[in-house]
Amino acid sequence: MGLDEQKRGQRFLGTLMGTLGKFQKESASLQEKNAKRAEIEARLAEGMRKEREALEERARIEQDKKQQAAERQRRASLREFEKLSLETYYKNEMACARALKTTTQPVLFYQPWKLTSKEEERAKIRIEELERKYQQELKELEERLSREDSMSNKLKCWVRE
């Protein structure tokens, strides 16, 4: 092998090594860029995940508030209905209290032109008894509703904790 060939081989090897070095630098640069890009994407993904969780939490809280408002409205309507039905029942009973009943089935109510003193006294006693019963049932209803409210409030406090 001649000196010329040896120098030519060294030049060729130097060029080859330079090309390999250039590719190594480019590869290292690409790896570094890819690592930075992956890190940025990971941070963005984490930020998006946190934002999505916050939105879901807000939506859940809003849904809970809507459900609680609907439940309060339902309870208020139910209270009003119970009071109204009790009042209607006793108004109907009061209307029938002055009337006389037949002993046949079905029972018929009738109002004579003029009541005897005995019938008048019976009607008066029946009206007083109905008023007393109405007041008692109204009081029991109010107590039951207040107990339900206090139980509901205790349950809400327990759930919050």
pLDDT tens figures, 5-22: 888 888 888 888 888 888
Distance, in Å, from the CA atom of 150 to the CA atom of 83, rounded to the nearest integer, reads: 19
93-112 b/e (C-beta count within 10 Å ≥ 16 → b): beeebbeeeeeeeeeeeeee
Write down the mean pLDDT value for the chain. 87
CB distance 126 to 116 below 8 Å: no
List, for residues 25-71, the tens digit of each pLDDT value: 888 888 889 999 999 999 999 999 999 999 999 999 999 999 999 98
pLDDT tier at 125 (50, 70, 90 boundaries)?
very high
Would you list the DSSP string of 39-75? HHHHHHHHHHHHHHHHHHHHHHHHHHHHHHHHHHHHH
| Lowest model confidence (mean pLDDT) among 51-60, 119-128, 150-159 | 150-159
Question: Token pair of 21, please?
Answer: 């070095």
% of the chain beyond a pLDDT of 70: 94
What does the pLDDT read at residue 42?
95
pTM of the model: 0.56
pLDDT tier at 156 (50, 70, 90 boundaries)?
low
